[in-house]
Each structure stands twice: as C-alpha cells, then as structure tokens.
Amino acid sequence: MAVSYKPVLWNRQKKKYDQILWMGIALILGCFAIFEFLLHPTITIETLIIRATAFTAIILLHIILMIGPLCRLDKRFLPLLYNRRHLGVSMFLIALVHAAFCIIQFHALGDTNPIASVFLSNPNYQEISQYPFQTLGFFALIILMLMAVSSHDFWLNNLSPKMWKQLHMSVYIAYALLILHIALGTLQYEKDLFYTILLWSGFLTISGLHLVAGWKTRSQLRAEQNALKQEGYFEVALLEEISEKRAKAVFVDGQNIAIFKYDGKVSAVSNICKHQMGPLGEGKIVDGCITCPWHGYQYYPGNGQSPPPFKEKLATYRVKIIKDKIWINPSPFPEGTAVEPAIINHG
Amino acid sequence: METLVSIILTIAGIYLLLGLLFAILFLFKGITKVDEAAIDSSWGFRLLILPGTICFWPVLLRKWIKGQNKAT
C-alpha cells in the first residue's frame, strides 16, 4: 500500500521557508506601496493594489527563474529549491489579485463580458505602441494557473512525470509573455526609467544565468561521456525509445544485448534465451521477470538468473544513464552475476 | 473578432462546467480507483486538488475508465 497523500507535507524547514517567503512578500508589497504613495499621493487604492501586486509578482517570478540555474552553478543555493512550489503558488496568487483588480477596474463596468472585454476593448492588435498588452498577461496567468493547480505530488503521479515536466517548463512561455506584457503596457506610459532598467536588467540576469548554467551542465555532461567512453561504454539508446517493461536489442562490440526498462530502472542481459536461443529483447517483463517470447522461459533482469527451481543463467552487463541516454559496457559478466540496475531520474 | 472570442469563451465555460461536475463525482468516488495513495487521503487534500481536477479532468477520466476496464 502506498503512503497516503497529505495536503502539505509540513516540516520545520518548509515552515521556515514559508515564513521567510511571506515576510519577504509583505516587505516588497509594503515598501512598494509606501514609495508609490509618496511619489503619487493622489493614487487610488485600486491602482495601488494593481501596481504593488504586479511588481511583487514579477519580482517573485524572477527569483523563481533564478533558483534553477543558481543551484546548478552552486550547491549552496539548493535550500532555495527545496520548497520552490510554494514560492510559485504564492506568486500565482499575487498575480491573480493583480488580474482580478485589473478586470474589475477596467473591464467590469460595461455591457460586455469582463473577460471578453480584455480581448475586445482595445482592437489595436497591429500597433506596437498601443498593443492590447492585457491579453498577453491573461495568457501568462492561464499558464501560471495551470502550473499552480498541478503543483501537488498527486499531479506529478497522475499526469505522468513527462507531461508534468513539460507543463511546468512552460513557465518560460509565461515569462516571455509577461516581459511583453510589461514592455508593451506600463513601460509605454511610465516616464520614469527605473522600471525600464529594472525589467531589462532582470531579463538579462535570467538569460545570463541560464546561459552560464547551461554551459556548465554541458561541460559536465561531456566530461562524464568522455569518462564513460574511456571505461569502455557505448551510447546505445534513448530512454524514451523503450516502453515500460519492454526492451531494445542492440549489437555492441560483438555482443547481442537486450536492454530492459522496468519500475524506474534499466538492466541489460544477453539477448539470447538459454532454452532455444529465442530473442529475449522481443519479450517483456512479466511478474518481475524477463519472459522469452518463444516459450516463456523467465529470468530476473537484475542478475540474469531464472527463478528457482530453474537453473538457467544469462550474462549481464553494466548500464549507465546520462541525461536521457543509455550507455552499455559490452564486456559481459559471468552468467548470473548481479549488476546494479541504472536508475531513471525523472528530474 | 467578437464572435470568435464569444465562441472560445463559451467552449471554455462548458469545459470548466463539465470539469466541475466531473470533479464532484471524482473526488467522492473515482479518486481511489485512479490512485491508491488517495484511499485514506483527507478532505483537505481533495479540496486542494479540486481546481486541478476541473482543469485536467479528461486525463483523470481516461485513467478512471482504464482502471474500470482493468478491474472487470
């Protein structure tokens, strides 16, 4: 039986993280509101809320986008990654307040449906200086909403890790939309250069950090691949090529090898069944055993041994996974030797 | 433009309404058939996944039907 889901798995670190997060949010909101009120004493409370929430949400989004590359560059930033989901959901809630006040203030007083009014009230879609920038913010908010509502582990398990990851990578589309939302919106009316400098320096910081982290990851990957080549490994397949509980057969360095993917692991054994030389790679894993498609002879994927009382044994091979690629060392171990399977890391 | 926006918003509205109806049924009955880790889960957890269920209901419906087929 699996462990039951909880709304939030609180622990001391998470509580501390959230306390600091909400203190930070209150500080940004408060400081911005004070400065805005001092600069524009006639500002209405609605406008103040719209501006303060917009500023806070975009600052939080920048912090969120910086955490990933910072952690790849320096492991000391890892505590920031630990509860990033709460940071993301908090950012979405603040952006939602911003959107709600915008829609109430600018679109709720006419006869048109307020949401339709976001798209229809300004039809200048062909002009850059008067572009209906609110539509860009609307689409960004939809993406952030889909990410926020799918942030619980339940969704990671039920949407599948691949789909969940793809969905959450769309934060970059939301970020691009928001940069345009601000550049074509507030910056067109704002005379103060402060916001322009802040936005573009934020964009350059995010882009720069991603480029540097990407370069570092690539260098590490190359170093790992070169090390594997020197140890006699060959790159033989992509993880996605092999279906769950199925295999891919490869010929490497004169060896006929079947690579099986099962239960988040990958193992490699000889592709030839000991019974009548059936192609094991065309079989599948049944009840935890590789099962020959010809006559159903079975072997454990981790050690190539038939389940007792049977005595058949297959040669086994070392497997490694680097990024999404499977590497095999074609030097066979003696038949029946246990080899640690390579673990599939969905991150 | 007005017609297009109106059609898209109507479709989105129907999708979310169906999602809400599905979510009520799913959170009472279907969730335990789809994910065994949800069997002893609290109502706080079910409330937390309600918005996601309304958004992603076709994925869960497919899993629910698939689970039923496997059981029979």
Query: What CATH number corresponds to the domain at position A270?
Result: 2.102.10.10
Residues A73 and A220 in one domain: yes
Domain containing A87 equals 12-225
Residues A301 and A335 in one domain: yes
Domain containing B46 equals 2-71
Residues A174 and A310 in one domain: no
Of B38, B52, B59, the CB nearest to A149: B52
Instruction: Kindly state the average pLDDT of the residues A280-308.
Output: 92
Residues A23 and A136 in one domain: yes
The proportion of chain A whose per-residue pLDDT surpasses 70, expressed as a percent, equals 99
Q: Which residues fall within 8 angstroms of residue A242, CB to CB, at 6 or more apart?
A: A248, A259, A260, A261, A266, A326
pLDDT value of residue A134:
93
E-strand stretches of chain A: 234-238, 246-252, 255-262, 265-270, 284-286, 289-291, 298-299, 316-322, 325-333, 342-343
Choosing from A182, A203, A225, the residue where a domain stops is A225
User: Does residue A341 have a pLDDT over 90?
Assistant: yes
Residues A96 and A217 in one domain: yes
Place B71 in a pLDDT band, splitting at 50, 70 and 90. Answer: low
Q: CB count, 10 Å around CB of A319?
A: 22
| Window 18-37 of A, Cβ < 8 Å to B | none
Residue A266 lies in a domain: yes
Place A1 in a pLDDT band, splitting at 50, 70 and 90. Answer: very low
Residues A247 and A194 in one domain: no
Residues A339 and A290 in one domain: yes
Residue A318 phi, psi dihedral angles, 5° rounding = -80, 140
Residues A137 and A29 in one domain: yes
Residue A206 lies in a domain: yes
pLDDT, averaged across chain A: 91
Instruction: Give the pairing of strands A316-322 and A284-286.
Output: unpaired
Of A3, A7, A116, the CB nearest to B37: A3
If one counts the domains in chain A, the total is: 2
Choosing from A201, A225, A249, the residue where a domain stops is A225
Instruction: Kindly state the average pLDDT of the residues A20-40.
Output: 93
A84-136 pLDDT tens trace:
899 999 999 999 999 999 999 999 888 889 999 999 988 888 888 788 999 99
A240-257 pLDDT tens trace:
889 999 999 999 988 999
Residues of B with Cβ-Cβ distance to A158 under 8 angstroms: 34-35, 59-60, 63
Residues A254 and A202 in one domain: no
Q: CB count, 10 Å around CB of B16?
A: 14
User: Does residue A2 have a pLDDT over 60?
Assistant: no
Question: What is the ipTM, given to two decimal places?
Answer: 0.93
A158-200 pLDDT tens trace:
998 889 999 999 999 999 999 999 999 988 887 778 889 999 9
Structure tokens that stand for A188 in this block: 């067109």
Helix (H, G, I), strand (E, B) or coil at B63: helix
pLDDT value of residue A144:
97
If one counts the domains in chain B, the total is: 1
Residue A5 lies in a domain: no
**Cβ–Cβ gap B6/A1 under 8 Å:** no
Residue A261 lies in a domain: yes
pLDDT value of residue A126:
85
Choosing from A205, A225, A245, the residue where a domain stops is A225
User: Does residue A8 have a pLDDT over 50?
Assistant: yes
pLDDT value of residue A323:
83
Residues A192 and A239 in one domain: no
Helix (H, G, I), strand (E, B) or coil at B70: helix
